Amino acid sequence: MAKAEVDRTVDRVSRAQALFSEFSQADVDAVIDALNKKSLINAEKWARMAHEETGYGTTEDKTVKNRFCAEKVYEFIKPLKTVGFIKSDPASGIYEVAAPMGVVAGVIPSTNPTSTAIYKIMIALKARNGIVISPHPAAKSCIGAVASVLGEAAVIAGAPDGIIGIIRQPTIEDTQYLMRHPQINVILATGGMGLVNAAYSSGKPAYGVGPGNVPAFIERTAVLRKAVRDVIAGKSFDWGTICASEQSVIVDKPLAEEAVREFKAAGGYFVNDREKALLEALVVNEKGFLNPKVVGRAPKVISSMAGFSVPEETRALIVPEGGVGRKYPLSLEKLSPILSYFEADGWEAGCQRCIEVLKYGGLGHTLCLHTTDREIIRQFALKKPAFRIIINSSGTHGAVGISTNLPPAMTLGCGALGNNITSDNITPMHLLDIKRVAYEARQVSGEEPVPLPPLTEDAAEVRNAAIASDARLYLSRTLGSPAHQGRRLNPLGAGLRFATSSVEGAEDFVCEEDVKAAIAEGRKIRIHSRTVVTPSARDLGEEKKVFESQ
């Protein structure tokens, strides 16, 4: 694609996003509903397309990933408020208002192409952004299918035409040009370190995620059979293409003999020294980089490429290792069903090995711990250089939010340790700018703070605010009288308290927060015939029998 065509695509999305930014929450959610339905219908079809185009993983597991993004990501983001006032704290006088960032450059990898496309489109549009997809060249057809179908579904649901764009014939130069484009507002990049570094050096705000050389430590108090099967499940899922999949397993020595039996029973194949040497020659090149030909391939395919055979039922190739680093080539992130195997005596030694693995290309990403010892969990949480500590579950499924309650995501931040801007699982909230409205809380000039009602978007509370506005006019006249000179107003208090009275012992104005405070303190609110009581305050106060008439 020539630069001119990238320009046209970005400009079209930018113009559509300008219209989309004015959508209500209900209108945005209608679009997200449509994306959910269309993605679920096409989940298996897109998985098959991805597998056929890239050769990575399996159609079955890619279908699971597509459904996860179509369904679980949708369920997580559906209730999120991303339009207008999204957070109100009347007690402090702080209000937060959502603003879309604009146009997202969504760079999609070949390892998880259709699932990541579904995910990035959903979270971008939920935040009222437009998105331009830049697919990996090896997966451009299946990613293009997702973008086309979801683009059409979004428009049918009411979104402006062009809200989802795609670079159809991508090159490295096109992607780099896109990330630096003046109409791109934020980059959401998933891929290798070269791509991530390019995103961060583009001059744009960027969420780029680092590699995940994930260690799993099976400590001596672990439920061993489950731990082993969890590790194998994570390592073999879609043949290791998810960055959170286990790359090394460290077994506490007292469990080692039984663990080897369990791994073999679960489909693990322990390679011998000759087979290990053959694997090293195949998997890692002379510069120490991973050979892309093994990524996402079945164990039987990889072993055949290396020059040896394994049983048909093999789910992971397990490589006994003596250390971590360049001298031990298979201790790096392998993105395939190849698992480095270590033994360590005690949790401190296991911890140290985990840190070594993380430092060799996985800092900040994910660490798995299988144990029933609460104090060891605490120590790993406090001290280990990873931002997702997955306990007694598969790293693959736990980190992305399939088997845990972490936010469901296909982009996992590694924090400053991994040279990333965030350690979070990326959600629509990362693609919003937040405006903050702040009421005065402390005097500056010596004058009393100006009494104001809470800001709100709720229809009933908007009505209350209008009544409160009338009340302020009334109170300003009342407070101007000599009887009220010198009285201190607190416009924050327990929400908003115009706690002043023209009738001794009674309030002139009562809002819902005043009623809630009275209920919490177990006291009554005295009102008189001219007290202004907001509708929600009256409903709650009468229900709880809070009011006393003067």
Burial (Cβ within 10 Å: 0-12, 13-18, ≥19) of residue 398: buried
What's the length of the chain? 550
Q: What is the DSSP-derived secondary structure letter of residue 411?
A: -
Pairing mode, strands 94-100 and 84-89 = antiparallel
Work out the percent of the chain whose per-residue pLDDT is above 90.
72
In the prediction, which pLDDT does 241 show?
A: 95
Kindly state the tokens that stand for 318.
């397990």
Q: What is the pLDDT of residues 328-382, one digit of tens each?
A: 999 999 999 999 999 999 999 999 999 999 999 999 999 999 999 999 999 999 9
- The span from the CA of 130 to the CA of 147, in Å, is 12
pLDDT grade for 474, boundaries at 50, 70 and 90: very low
Residue 302: the pLDDT is 98
Residue type, 267: G
Half-sphere exposure of 363 (CA within 13 A, CB side): 10
Please tell me the predicted confidence (pLDDT) of residue 533.
83
Rounded CA separation 207/423 (Å)? 10
Residue pair 294/336 in contact (Cβ under 8 Å)? The answer is yes
Tokens 């597509």 locate to: 66
pLDDT in tens, 489-504: 333 333 333 334 456 7
CB of 276 closer than 8 Å to CB of 264: no
Residue 148 has, within 13 A of its CA and on its CB side, a CA count of 10
> CA-CA distance, 228 to 380, in Å (whole number)?
20
State the pLDDT at residue 275. 98
Instruction: Write down the pLDDT at residue 485.
Output: 39
How large is the angle between the packed helices 172-179 and 3-20, nearest 10 degrees? Answer: 40
Q: Write down all domains in the chain, each with its CATH number in brackets.
A: 3-209+429-435 (3.40.605.10), 214-404 (3.40.309.10), 448-549 (no CATH)
For 105, the enclosing helix (H) or strand (E) is: strand 103-108
Tell me what percent of the chain is helix, strand and coil, each rounded to the nearest 5: 45, 20, 35
pLDDT value of position 439? 92
Please return the burial class of 526, using the count of CB atoms within 10 Å of its CB with bins 0-12, 13-18 and 19+: middle
Tokens representing 199? 């995103």
Within 8 A by CB and 6+ apart from 22, the residues are none
3-state secondary structure of 535: helix
Report which secondary-structure segment, H or E, holds 37. Answer: helix 25-54
Cα 89 to Cα 227, 438, 439, 513: the distances in Å are 44, 10, 11, 11
> Does the pLDDT at position 206 exceed 80?
yes
Cite the active site residues: 243
3-state per-residue secondary structure call for 233-249 = HHHHHHHHCCCCCEEEE
Residue 469: pLDDT above 90? no
CB atoms within 10 A of CB 27: 15
User: Is 543 exposed, middle or buried (CB count within 10 Å of its CB: 0-12, 13-18, 19+)?
Assistant: exposed
CA distance 375 to 348: 12
Q: Can you give the pLDDT at residue 337?
A: 98
Q: Read off the pLDDT of residues 224-255 as tens digits, 9 standing for 90 and up.
A: 999 999 999 999 999 999 999 999 999 999 99
Look at residue 250 in the predicted model and tell me its pLDDT: 98
Which pLDDT score, from 0 to 100, does residue 434 have?
A: 97
pLDDT tier at 540, thresholds 50, 70, 90: confident
Q: Indicate whether 520 pLDDT > 60.
A: yes
449 pLDDT tier (thresholds 50, 70, 90): confident
Q: What is the pLDDT of residue 503?
A: 65
- pLDDT digit string, tens, across residues 171-185: 989 999 999 999 999
d(C-alpha 45, C-alpha 62), whole Å: 10
pTM: 0.82
Per the listing, tokens 């003999």 go with 257
For residue 475, pLDDT over 50 is answered with no
User: What would the 3-class secondary structure string for 150-172 be?
Assistant: HHHHHHHCCCCCCCEEECCCCCH
DSSP β-bridge partners for residue 117: none
Average pLDDT over residues 186-195: 83
Q: What are phi and psi of 474, to 5 degrees?
A: -60, -45
Task: List the structure tokens of 364.
Answer: 């900040």
CA–CA gap between residue 113 and residue 461 (Å, rounded): 45
First to last CA, the chain: 78
Residue with the bigger pLDDT between 412 and 443: it is 412
Q: In 400-524, which ranges are E strands? A: 432-438, 507-510
Mean pLDDT of 478-496: 36
pLDDT above 70 covers a percentage of the chain that reads 91
pLDDT tens by residue, 106-161: 999 999 999 999 999 999 999 999 999 999 999 999 999 999 999 999 999 999 99
Residue 210 three-state SS = coil
Average pLDDT, the chain: 89
Of 122-131, 267-276, 518-527, which gets the smallest average pLDDT? 518-527
The tally of CA atoms less than 13 A away on the side-chain side of residue 253 is 6
Residue 512 confidence class, pLDDT cut points 50, 70, 90: confident
> In this predicted model, what pLDDT tens digit does every residue of 42-80 receive, in sequence order?
999 999 999 999 999 999 999 999 999 999 999 999 999
- Do residues 156 and 35 lie in contact, with contact meaning Cβ atoms separated by under 8 Å? no
Question: What does the pLDDT read at residue 476?
Answer: 41
